[in-house]
Structure 1
Amino acid sequence: MTAGSNDKSPWWQSAVIYEVALISFQDSDGDGKGDLAGLISRIGYLKWLGIDAVWLTPIYKSPFRDLGYDISDYCAIDPAFGNLGTFDALLTALHEAGIRLVLDLVPNHTADDHEWFVESRSSRNSAKADWYIWAEAAENGGPPNNWLSRFGGSAWEWCEARRQYYYHSFLVEQPDLNWRNAEVRAALADVMRFWLDRGVDGFRVDASAVLIKDAHLRDNPPNPEAAGKPPPQRHTPVFTDDRPETMHCIEFIRGVIDEYPGRLLCGEVQGKTDRIGHFYGTERPRLHLPLNFALLDTPWDALPLQATIDAYFNALPEDAWPVWVIGGHDKPRVASKIGEAQMRVLAMLLMTLKGTPFLYMGDEIGRKRVSIAPDRVRDPFEKLVPGFGLCRDPERAPMRWDASANGGFTNGRPWLPLDPEDSANVSGQQGDERSMLALFRALMAARRENACLLRGRYEPLRSQSDVLAFRRVADGQEILVALNIAAEPRKWHWQGSGHLLLSTYLDQASRSLPDASIQLRGNEGVIITLAPR
């Protein structure tokens, strides 16, 4: 059954969404940094792969201290990436290819050279004096409270011009906006409309859980689990993260999105799985898709995975649409955690679970973490909080398109080193019909062509003997998914007459199965269709 006929559901429910860190995707002018023109040149690849939407990390004007999440002008393209004309050309080319575009929205903070902050810090009486979070010094002249920056040290920085401290959740050069100020909310709404009017298909909201901080500036309590963790985690962020008022901010952002039919609002959230429902909203809508990294954060074993998936589905509000993410610019490469063989199994899991799959550029070739020498580190977290193995540069290294020295990414010196020339690359895998890339492409096609995989309800089966199993059911059609999480063979049984649709090995033609069992090879996943009962 082909998906899409008479389907009135939102486009993102059937989409595969692909995150692109633009600076590392494709360079077009030899400066060693990816750009909009480079992305335009790779649209053919995205269409061939089967991508339905691209989510771009920030492309706005920025001093680029933290991958562009420090924004100087929300309505301008950074010159390193191009200009608004190039952006419009990109949007047109993507839409012509049937691919939508989602931009990063960074509503929590700006760069310290943004004109809003320049005015705000100039005087307590300036027109934008209350656009950021300012507070008086403590009695001893120090910071107002014990709140910590995620990049180390106090989250408060002294401003001599105002004789006050300003708050920064992240870098000292990233002051937090004051979301309690109606003018700030209106200004950010105008930013959204600027891009929505140009035709973008939605936003991914950065740091959506930290938009509001405690009005009383109460100290955060000690974190009883802080041992061995980076210094910023020595307190539990009760009064700075995931405050109840934050949901009103998300509702406001959703209200702007809803002015434009068919646009998506997804977002970075935090907290345990049982908190995920709050970000969807009940009485008032919030995010369409709160990003769910549970598959990345769970031990790679059938029983913990079974429990994680069950807990996530049980936490969803009624009619909420699930979402699964296996990579990102802030997350360690999953292939480095579970290995290449099990990465194929994860690919099948991602594309067969009910919900919208998100992957990060390079996941489709099983890319692993890139080794970054100390003198090439660019990640400000690693520079400010070193020694905890949390540097994000290994994930942000440029895309390897071929086996050449610079990987087909640039003719210049890459802004970050690439992995070795014999590492996984797109060109090599495009020529291999059983490669990781071929598997991702085949799975996307199977998902797109089977309404049961797109819309069918998820029904868990008992996972045992290292086999994670479930079924998808819709309109009399049943599909079984069995994933061998072990490196050794496992026998797996089911009820009913089956037909093998796809194996992660990509070495078997679609065929009928002689009985209701199959010998799963080590590290093998299969999709089996059942005859109607």
Structure 2
Amino acid sequence: MRRADALAGHGEQPWWWDAVCYQVDVGSFADGDGDGIGDLAGLTSRLGYLELLGVDAVVLAGAAGLDPAAGPFAELLGVAHDSGMRVMLSLDVDPARSDPASVLWPWLEHGADGFHLAPRPDSADAIGAALAGHPDRVVIGSGPGDWHLSFNLDLAVAGFDADRVRKAITDVLAAPGPRPAWAMASRDTEQSRDDAALTPVRAMALVQLALPGAVCLRHGEELGLPGTQRVRMPWEGDRPPFGFSDADADWSSIPADWVSFTAEAQLEDEASTLSLYRHALETRGTHPAFTGDEVEWFGAPPGCFAFRRAGTTLICALNTSPEPVPLPPGEVVLSSRPVGPGELPPGTAAWLV
């Protein structure tokens, strides 16, 4: 059972408190009707994968052309709810161009569970008024506002440097306002995804998932895919488009060497990035040490840090230095790369209890 469901069932915290929110670029996720463009039918057919991954909410991006009153959205919502997942919308809301109520209400009336909004700084009050009649819906916002969760990319901006990452974490947790929703993938640039490039990606995933608050993943992030704006999800097979679509089209924009990045290939590989995310989300959602809303910092060698979730036994250690360092005391529950006896290798993060 996911932690969001468990907490909701025991009345401790709302489902979104430590939720895993998975943003899907609808047009690039899965093509259900064979026209070469991703759609809601394709997403619905792949919800089993998201349930296996351990997702609490699916956030639909690229929803401008979607109809909340149409059958595909109702079907998606029904299948997701039956699987214990919520469905949210990622929308741009600007009162200078439109009334927020006119944008949000059609989705609210047809059962959407909430929104990830990118409003202008002066639009928070208008959005709050639009949602006043729907107190059970969740809002992830950016910047000032009366949101449930505050989206931030501070970890991504910090890069792979222990001191800068620690400062980013400290600053976010110390800031007043909503509970944080940590995000890593901005996909602004092309970059390789060989083993060396994936080392900091995997380590930072464990740091992100160890922190108090919700997390926002973007589709393909769990596969370690390169940093492009609209990545077509590679599902299976040995050639492009790797199960994304049945359309007979030019798929030359999808690298042929992504065969090792498909969900199918990585599910069968216990050392893959997808397997790391699956194990991390399962541990995060079920292990009793993943509670506590503050972190306590330990002393650590240069280029490293270690923190404990306050009031628990969970320790997250990160080594961004070029040399191995001693592991903190405890049992290693999960590590981004194999660890030796008592040592945390360079470019590695580990969870200990």
2:49 to 45, 48, 62: 45
- 1:414 is displaced (CA, Å) by 6.1
Deviation at 1:492, TM superposition (A): 3.4
Letter aligned with residue 525 of structure 1: A
Distance in structure 2 (CA, Å) of the matches to 1:34 and 1:445: 28
Q: Per-residue displacement from partner, 1:299-324 (whole Å, max 9, x unpaired)?
A: 3111111122112222234xx31221
**Which residue, out of 249, 259, 265, partners 2:139?**
265
Contact 2:77–2:87, Cα closer than 8 Å, also in 1 = yes
1:255 equivalent in structure 2: 129
Deviation at 1:335, TM superposition (A): 7.5
CA contact (8 A) 2:317 2:328 kept: no
- Compare relative contact order (CA 8 Å, sep 6+) and give the higher one, 1 or 2: 2
Q: CA deviation at 1:484?
A: 1.7
Contact 1:27 1:33 (C-alpha < 8 Å) held by counterparts: yes
Change (3 A) 1:28 1:441: same
Equivalent positions of 1:380-419 (< 5 A) are 394-402=228-236, 403-412=238-247, 413=249, 417-419=253-255
Residue 10 of structure 2 aligns to a residue whose secondary structure is coil
Say whether residues 1:519 and 2:343 are aligned partners: yes
RMSD of aligned C-alpha atoms? Answer: 2.7
Aligned counterparts of 1:490 and 1:33: Cα–Cα separation in 2: 48
Partner of 1:480: 315
Q: Which residue of 2 aligns with 1:22?
A: 26
User: Partners in 2 of 1:103 and 1:43 — Cα distance?
Assistant: 16
**Deviations 1:475-507 (Å, cap 9, x if unpaired)?**
xx321111122454222345xxx2222222368
CA–CA distance in structure 2, aligned partners of residues 336 and 434 of structure 1: 15
Partner of 2:256 in structure 1? 420
What one-letter code is carried by the residue in structure 2 that aligns with 1:92? G
Partner Cα separation in structure 2 for residue 101 and residue 333 of structure 1 = 29
2:64 is matched with: 60
Distance 1:106 1:482 in 2: 37
Please tell me whether the aligned partners of residues 57 and 103 of structure 1 are also in contact (alpha carbons under 8 angstroms): yes
1:138 alignment counterpart: none
Residue 144 of structure 1: aligned partner: none
Q: Deviation per CA, 1:191-233: give whole Å up to 9, x if none.
A: 3222112111101112x13xxxxxxxxxxxxxxxxxxxxxxxx
AA aligned to 1:528 is L
1:52, distance to aligned residue in structure 2 (A): 0.6
Identity level (%): 29
Question: Could you state the TM-score of these two structures normalised by the residue count of structure 2?
Answer: 0.88
Q: 1:295 and 1:335 mapped to 2: Cα distance?
A: 20
1:27-38 equivalences under 5 Å are 27-38=31-42
Distance 2:339 2:49 in 1: 24
Alignment check: 8 A CA contact 1:459 1:472 kept? yes
C-alpha contact 1:479 1:527 (8 A) present in aligned 2: yes
Deviation at 1:458, TM superposition (A): 1.5
In 2, Cα distance between equivalents of 1:454 and 1:335: 35
TM-superposition CA deviations, 1:38-60 (whole Å, max 9, x none): 00110000000101101111323
Q: How many equivalent residue pairs? A: 345
Aligned twin of 1:168: none
**Structure 2: segments with no counterpart, 5+ residues:** none
When Rg is computed on C-alpha atoms for both structures, the one with the higher figure is 1
Whole-angstrom CA distance in 2 between matches of 1:361 and 1:335: 17
Change over 3 Å in CA distance of 1:290–1:456 after alignment to 2? closer
SS in 2 for 1:322: strand
- Give the match for residue 356 of structure 1: 214
8 Å CA contact retained: 1:266, 1:290: yes
Alignment check: 8 A CA contact 1:303 1:464 kept: no
Within 5 Å, which residues of 2 pair with 1:70-469?
Answer: 76=67, 84-108=70-94, 178=96, 184-185=98-99, 188-206=100-118, 208-209=119-120, 242=121, 246=122, 249-269=123-143, 279-280=144-145, 286-317=146-177, 320-328=178-186, 331-332=188-189, 339-369=197-227, 394-402=228-236, 403-412=238-247, 413=249, 417-421=253-257, 422-469=259-306
- Partners of 1:414 and 1:489 in 2: CA distance: 46
Q: Which runs of 5+ in 1 are unaligned?
A: 62-74, 78-82, 109-176, 210-241, 270-278, 281-285, 370-393
Shift of 1:353: 0.9
